[in-house]
Structures are given as C-alpha cells and as structure tokens.
C-alpha cells in the first residue's frame, strides 16, 4: 500500500479562517513562533532505530470520513482505504466536529530479532483509543488482536500502566508492520502520538511523575494557605481562590490522565462527566473570584453584571454539556470563548485604574486563561494544535499559581496594614496602639524600666475645620504625622492616631523627665509648622496641648491607669491655656511645664 497521499488542498487555509486567526490570536504569535516546525512530510515507514520519536504526526495517514460504524475491514480493504491523507501538522487536530478518526502508520525493523516500542496517545480525555496489531507471521493486517484504552472504556489487559493510553508494539525481525488506530471522542479530536523505546518511556514516566508531583504538591500547599488565610482574615476572596485552584488542579489531573489512572475501571462511567463538571466549575469559580478579589461590584455594576452572567452561565453549561444538547454550544461560546478574553482585559484595565492588588492578580489571570483561550481556539478549529500546547496547562497553572500567591500575600499584607495603620496619617491606629501598649507593658514588667505616654490634642480644631474646611483639617493632621514619627524612632516607641484630632505616643524605657522633654519638642515642632489658624484663641497658628504620664509597669496593675493619668494631664494642659505640656506623676498630677530648659530636645 502507498504510504504517501497528499491531498491537493492540504496546507491551504480559507481567508475567513486566516482573518479570525489574526484577529483573535495575534497576541499569541510570539508564543506560537517558538513551536517547532513540522518535519518534512515523507512516506517512508518509521525505522525503530530512530526511536524515541516525539511526534508521530508526519508519519501518520489519517482518515476523517469514517463514522462510528466503520470497521477495520472497511478501512483496510474497502474503498475507504484510498481516502487516507497525510496531515500537514506535527499533531493533527480536527476540533469537535470529528468524533471518529482512523490513522495508520508503518514500522520497520531491520534487526534480526523482534523489536518492541511503546505507543503513547497523549490526550487522556479521548473516549476510546483502539490499536489494531497486524497478525504475527503472515504479514496480514487482519484484526487478530486489538488493544484499547480511554476514559469511557474499560482498558484491555495488555495496556501499559500509564496515566495516558499506552500500548506495547512488537515488530517481527527484518520486517515491516502496519498498525491501525481508531480514536473516538466527544472532546476535541486531537492526535498527539509518540513512539518510545522501553527505556525512554520509563525515563519519561519517572520525569513526569516527579514534575507533576511537585506541581500538585505546590498547589496543595497553596490551597491550604489560601483557605487558612481566608479563615484568618475572614476574606471571601481567599476562599474563592481555594475553590478556583481546586477546580484548576482537578482539570489538570483529568487532562493529564491522573484521574483516569487513580480511579481505574471504577471511573469509566464518570470520567467524561467529571471532565465537564471541572471545566464548568473552573469558569464559575473564576468569575466569582474575579468579582470578589477586585471588588468589581464597587467599581462598576455593569462589569459585575457581565461577570455574574458568565459565572452562572458556566454553571448552567454543566448539565447541558453532560446531556449533549445543542444548547451547550450556545452557552459555552460566550462563557468559554469570549469570557476569558473579557475577564483578562478587565483585570488589566482595573490594574491600570489603580484597583488594589490588581497587578499580580492580572498577570496570574492572564496566564491562567491563556490555556482556555487556546483550548477554545483549537477546539472550534480556529487554530491548529501545536506541540507546545501539550505542556501549556501545567505551565500556565504553575505560573498563575505563583502570581496568585503573590497577589494574595500582597492583599494579606494590606489587610494587616489597614488593620494596624490609620489610612489618613499613616500612623498606627488605636487598635495597633492598644496591642503595642500591652506588649511594652509586659516587656517592661520584667526589666523594671519606665514606660511613658504622651497624649496630644490639636487646639481649637473644630474652629479650624469650621473656618478652613475639613479637607484643610485633614491636611493639618497629616502634617503632624512626620513630627510624631520623627520623635518616636527608638525600639519600643510608637506614635498613633487615637481618634479625631487626638494622638498618643508610647515612649518605651523613658523616664518622666525625658518624656517631658520629648513632649515639649513635639509641641515646638508643631508650632514651628506655622499652619495658619485665624479662629484660634491660643494663637494665629495651629498648636497642640500635651499630657505626659510615666510609670514602671508592675504585674497586676491596671493597664488603663497610665492612659487615664496622661489624659488627666492633657486636660490640665488645656485648662492652663493650651499650647503647653502638663506632666502627671501617678497617682497625683505634679506640675505644668510652660518653658522647659533650652536642652529639652535632649533624650536619655
């Protein structure tokens, strides 16, 4: 039989398809250019000495005009035997419109002993892959023995144990043998076939087991991390991250054949449905994740409504796809065809608009959905299947997981910062102050050293707001923040916004005298800002009143006492005319200090 038949229309492309390819996938040309070029088509049988052969496509002849009832006899002896054509792709692909495809190839063994090879079909979601072995000894191609595997059939006993359909071929000495392959699937009809020696196959299996073990292990840790983070911070976005990554990992396990390998024959009735469910849930959780993480509802109700439609469209697609109804295509087109493009564009648009934590999320989202866009392209026949696509899903998942982890860490950091920092002044907030105050008290109980507090209040601040406006009031408070930060730099010190126009400073290991000096330094620095305040009865610029309290923390003391004493001292400073420092020596108020020594800025 002839090993070469090239149809006159092979390799040509309709203008419409070329236009669609250019418009929809122009951004991927850089990646596609990295794919290896198809080897020159030739008719010679595959020499077993040339193994391992990574891609068998150029040595295949394909029959695409068969139906589900076509038999081996029909394609070997009948008129269909003349309709085999050699593909023009390294990995032939015919989309979802071709449920049954036949292929044939010839192996040549020049040795004087039988030679073995391993046939690997690297598309685990095919329903059924049947390999017909030629009858030994006679040279006949009769269907004497057939090996079969797939996610919708029970594997034959001679199948090689592997996550994808794999069969052992044995070619008699000094002979050629022609093999027929029948592939039936409800998924995309794609034929990524390789031929391996037993040694190279063993090396390949061990390498893949290691790499995918590391990948699934990293994803598992990431899922635990996001789930824990979501519970700790009460973040719904982190919870949706976990569900999204679980569905992504499940889809990868199905596509790579691990689920088929783990479940064995018990999974045959469920493999196809689980594949469809994982796809639908991936898009459902993804749309919800995007809505929650970027707070789309607050930014644009229109964008949120579109994402919500895509989200529930993915959920509705699952039963339609399992039932095989025509509606599944109508629903799947916007959800899985246009949805990834829209959502990726949206993520980058929100990044450019300055949405919190959007930058790393957008990059991760792009990698996660690059596979979805390319999948959709070759499934509907817009693009061919290239060798790099075999590793696209695990690579995109690994990169996406990395960027998602960074995005989550950044968000967790922001949550932590916002929970501890006053957003307007950048100083610690009241909650952080309380935590730090308790921590310093405990530390100083052990060392028997003093702890001082300075309570600070902006004088006549209501009149300032009434006269200049609240925006000017906010700017005045922000101007005070650097002064407080500059004067609380030592280990254990902390400046915080206590509420409204009130501030507090913790001075660790600082006695009353030095705390008083520090308070006077702060008072002078604020007055030195010379912020106009025409409505003040104190002066013509913004000033502050300060109350100082010091104590050596003792076990069993009431933590609020020192704060109360500082507050009493502050009240005393206001009574005495404001723009001054008053010092309390618990339990009694000691003195008001109007004009400290010239070296008041010195600190021990």
Instruction: Tell me the CB-side half-sphere exposure of residue 298, using CA atoms within 13 A.
Output: 7
- Catalytically annotated residues: 501
Query: Which pairs with CB-CB distance under 8 Å and at least 24 residues apart come from 441-445?
Result: 441/553, 441/557, 441/559, 442/553, 443/492, 443/508, 444/508, 444/509, 444/552, 444/553, 445/553, 445/554, 445/555
Contact 420, 432 (CB under 8 A): yes
Q: Which of 159, 170, 109, 174 is nearest to 136 (CA)?
A: 170
Q: Which two tokens stand for residue 243?
A: 């569900």
Distances (CA, A) of 215 to 122, 123, 252, 268, 402: 19, 19, 10, 26, 11
- Length of the chain counted residue by residue: 604
Strand partners, 61: 104
Distance CA 575, CA 99 (A): 90
Peptide linkage before 587 cis (omega within 30 of 0):
yes
Q: Which of 119, 199, 126 is nearest to 160 (CA)?
A: 119
The tokens 């030592």 sit on which residue? 490
Distance CA 273, CA 573 (A): 76
The tokens 């009143």 sit on which residue? 545
509-531 b/e (C-beta count within 10 Å ≥ 16 → b): bbebbbbbbbbbbbbebbbeeeb
Q: Which two tokens stand for residue 238?
A: 């982190």
What 3-state DSSP class applies to 143? coil
Q: Which of 184, 182, 288, 168 is nearest to 239 (CA)?
A: 288
Instruction: Tell me the CB-side half-sphere exposure of residue 105, using CA atoms within 13 A.
Output: 25
Instruction: Please report which helix (H) or strand (E) contains residue 445, including its range.
Output: helix 430-447
Distance CA 136, CA 126 (A): 28
Torsion of CA 401, 404, 410, 415, to 10 degrees: -120
Contact 503, 459 (CB under 8 A): no
Cβ neighbours of residue 12 closer than 8 Å, sequence gap 6 or more: none
What 3-state DSSP class applies to 503? strand
Task: Quote the DSSP letter at residue 54.
Answer: S
Sheet strands side by side (includes 502-508):
494-499, 502-508, 451-458, 544-551, 581-585, 588-593
The tokens 């620095």 sit on which residue? 525
């Amino acid at each position: 039989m002839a090993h070469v038949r090239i149809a006159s229309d092979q390799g040509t492309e309709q203008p419409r398809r070329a236009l669609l390819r250019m418009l929809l996938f122009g951004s991927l040309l850089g990646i596609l250019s990295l794919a290896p070029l198809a080897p020159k088509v030739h008719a010679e049988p595959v020499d077993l000495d040339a193994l391992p052969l990574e891609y068998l496509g150029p040595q295949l002849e394909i029959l695409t005009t068969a139906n589900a009832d076509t038999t081996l006899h029909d394609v070997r002896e009948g008129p269909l035997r003349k309709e085999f054509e050699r593909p023009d792709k390294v990995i032939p692909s015919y989309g979802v419109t071709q449920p049954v495809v036949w292929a044939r190839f010839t192996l040549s063994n020049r040795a004087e002993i039988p030679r073995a090879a391993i046939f690997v079909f690297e598309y685990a979601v095919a329903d059924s892959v049947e390999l017909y072995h030629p009858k030994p000894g006679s040279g006949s191609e009769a269907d004497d023995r057939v090996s079969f595997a797939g996610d919708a059939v029970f594997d034959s006993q001679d199948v090689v144990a592997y996550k994808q359909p794999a069969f052992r071929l044995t070619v008699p000495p000094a002979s050629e043998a022609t093999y027929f392959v029948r592939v039936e699937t409800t998924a995309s009809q794609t034929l990524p076939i390789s031929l391996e020696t037993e040694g190279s196959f063993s090396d390949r299996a061990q390498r893949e087991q290691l790499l995918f073990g590391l990948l699934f292990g990293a994803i598992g840790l990431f899922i635990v991390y996001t789930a824990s983070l979501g519970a700790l911070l009460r973040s719904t976005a982190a919870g949706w991250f976990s569900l999204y990554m679980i569905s992504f990992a499940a889809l990868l396990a199905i596509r790579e054949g691990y689920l088929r390998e783990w479940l064995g024959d018990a999974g045959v009735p469920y493999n196809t449905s689980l594949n469809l469910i994982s796809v639908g849930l991936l898009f459902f959780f993804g749309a919800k994740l995007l809505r929650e993480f970027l707070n789309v509802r607050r930014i644009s109700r229109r964008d949120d409504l579109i994402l919500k439609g895509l989200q529930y469209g993915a959920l509705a697609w699952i039963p339609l796809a399992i039932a095989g109804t025509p509606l599944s295509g109508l629903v799947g087109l916007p959800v899985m065809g246009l949805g990834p493009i829209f959502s990726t564009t949206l993520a980058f648009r929100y990044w450019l608009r300055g949405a919190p934590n959007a930058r790393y999320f957008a990059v991760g989202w792009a990698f996660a959905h690059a596979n979805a866009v390319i999948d959709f392209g070759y499934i509907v026949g817009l693009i061919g299947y290239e060798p790099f696509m075999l590793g696209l899903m695990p690579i995109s998942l690994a990169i996406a997981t990395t960027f998602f982890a960074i995005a989550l860490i950044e968000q967790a950091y922001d949550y932590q910062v916002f929970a501890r920092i006053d957003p307007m002044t950048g100083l610690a907030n009241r909650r952080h102050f309380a935590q730090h105050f308790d921590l310093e008290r405990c530390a100083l109980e052990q060392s028997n050293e003093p702890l001082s507090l300075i309570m600070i209040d902006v004088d006549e601040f209501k009149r300032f707001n009434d006269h200049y406006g609240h925006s000017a009031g906010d700017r005045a408070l922000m101007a005070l923040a650097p002064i407080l930060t500059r004067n609380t730099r030592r280990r254990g010190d902390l400046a915080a916004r206590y509420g409204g126009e009130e501030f507090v400073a913790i001075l660790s290991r600082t006695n009353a005298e030095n705390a008083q000096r520090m308070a006077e330094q702060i008072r002078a620095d604020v007055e030195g800002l010379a912020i106009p305040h025409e409505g003040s009865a104190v002066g013509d610029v913004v000033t502050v009143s300060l109350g100082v309290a010091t104590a050596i923390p003792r076990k069993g003391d009431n933590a609020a006492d020192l704060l109360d004493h500082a507050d009493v001292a502050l009240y005393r400073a206001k009574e005495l005319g404001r723009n001054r420092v008053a010092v309390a020596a618990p339990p009694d108020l000691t003195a008001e200090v109007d004009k400290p020594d010239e070296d008041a800025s010195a600190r021990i």
